[in-house]
Amino acid sequence: MNKEVLKALEKDARATPEQIATQTGISVEEVEKTIEKAERDRVIVKYKTIVNWERLGEEQVQALIEVKIQPQRNVGFDSIAERIYRFPEVRSVYLVSGTYDLAVFVVGKTMQEAAAFVWQKLAPLDSVQGTVTHFLLKRYKEDGEILDGGGEKGRRQPLTL
């Protein structure tokens, strides 16, 4: 499988096979074959659009929840991770090193909604031993894309004495 094709698509999912062929020097037919095989083998899992909802005035609360769990015999962390990622509020789940075992990203309309997910759905799960919730206050960059360009209006003035 040609990794150059996948890197081009990862950077811009809207790139056509013709554009990728021009960028990489690979034939259009080879690009198309690579894409078809990658989709079939679930190497390409999803094509994604990043939306800056704040620009549309759409309120959204995102939270990172650190979860300490008791791994289950013979299945380790996988079984509880699957139970957690099946909740519709959950955007991402990662097994991590450190004090906590899972990093869980959730989205809600309000802080109360995100908090309710933790105390109503997540914390009561048998394997969950503890949680710490961090509300994300502002997104600057997501999946490699700068959301607010910053420019002069986004920069803080330097502190002078």
Give, for all 161 residues of the chain, the pLDDT tens digit: 789 999 999 889 999 999 999 999 999 999 999 999 999 999 999 888 888 877 888 888 999 999 999 988 888 899 999 999 999 999 999 999 999 999 999 999 999 999 999 999 999 999 999 999 999 998 888 888 888 765 555 455 566 66
Is residue 68 within 8 A of residue 128, CB to CB? The reply is yes
Question: CA 105, CA 129: separation in Å to the nearest integer?
Answer: 18
| Counted domains in the chain | 2
Residues 85 and 117 in one domain: yes
**Does residue 29 lie in a domain region?**
yes
Q: Are residues 69 and 120 in the same domain?
A: yes
**CATH number for the domain including 118?**
3.30.70.920
Judge if 78 and 130 occupy the same domain: yes
Does the residue 97 lie in any domain?
yes
Domain that holds residue 34: 3-40
- Reading phi first (left if > 0) and then psi (alpha if -120 to 50, else beta), residue 99 is in alpha
Do 63 and 96 share a domain, yes or no? yes
pTM of the predicted model as reported, rounded to 2 decimal places = 0.77
